[in-house]
Structure 1
Amino acid sequence: MTRPDRDVMVCRDCCCGSTSKHPATDHDAQRTSLEATAGGGVRVRVVECLDECDRSNVVLVRDFTLGRRPVDTWLGDVHGDDATRAVVDWVAVGGPVPDDLAGHVFPRRRVR
């Protein structure tokens, strides 16, 4: 198996991706939309926890095309169709973070 150009990771087994924390967010539809970008160099993975629960709904995009080491972009508060569509459109083409997602980007805190 070859490495994808981009990995998209979403929390679903902890509080971030749960309907109990975010009942208005359709987590299944969001996952389905993201998975529709799979193939073509994009892999979507559901993870138990990305350890950034205070910024949930968290999506981590790891880009392997920008050099020897992957570049991680952390996105928080990804709720609703507009935010999901912006993530889907961006990961499908790659490149810099588009303006409509800039407000969702946050720096990863250091985990000890």
Structure 2
Amino acid sequence: MLLCRGCCCGTAEKHPRTDHDAQRDALLDCDGAFGVRVRVVDCLDHCDRSNVVLVRDFTAGRRPHDTWLGGVLNRRTTERLVTWVQDGGALPRELVPHRFGTHTRGGGPA
């Protein structure tokens, strides 16, 4: 999982009502658990959809599958994201409105 925290994602200037530190910490708590790796990155180049999280699934036997989520701005959405990443399965209904792209790496849109 990549968590954007560059030019505008994760900033109080753009999203003053979001607890960016708590969100980062909740996602970083997943790192190493359930086979999840979490990295905080400078920019994922989708500033119009901040806060952006990229979830990359490396399920055995498949090419990596990317799920892009934007507007991850509140505690409930962050909690649902954490649960989904830990449990796997289909994207939960609550996160569908946040999805703005799913792509297979190296293969264009899935």
TM-score > 0.5, shorter chain as reference: yes
Distance in 2 of aligned mates of 1:90 and 1:66 = 18
How far, CA to CA, are the matches of 2:13 and 2:3 in structure 1?
Answer: 16
AA aligned to 1:24 is R
Q: How far does residue 68 in structure 1 lie from its aligned partner after superposition?
A: 3.0
Partner Cα separation in structure 2 for residue 52 and residue 66 of structure 1? 28
What is the Cα-based RMSD across aligned positions, in Å?
1.7
What is the TM-score of this pair, normalised by structure 2?
0.86
Match for residue 104 of structure 1?
Answer: 98
Unaligned stretches of 5+ in structure 2? 103-107
Runs of 4+ in 1 over 3 A off after TM superposition: none
Aligned to 1:53: 47
* Percent of residue pairs identical: 60
Question: How many residues in Structure 1 have an aligned counterpart in Structure 2?
Answer: 103
Cα distance in 1 for residues equivalent to 2:99 and 2:58: 18
Within the candidate set 13, 18, 24, 1:20 is matched to 13
Deviations 1:48-93 (A, max 9, x none): 0000000111010000016431100000100111100010000011
- Kindly indicate whether residue 61 of structure 2 is the aligned counterpart of residue 64 of structure 1: no
Write the distance in 1 (CA, Å) between the matches of 2:50 and 2:11: 10
Letter in 1 for 2:65: V
> Structure 1: which 5+ residue stretches go unaligned?
1-7
Give TM-score, length-normalised by structure 1.
0.85
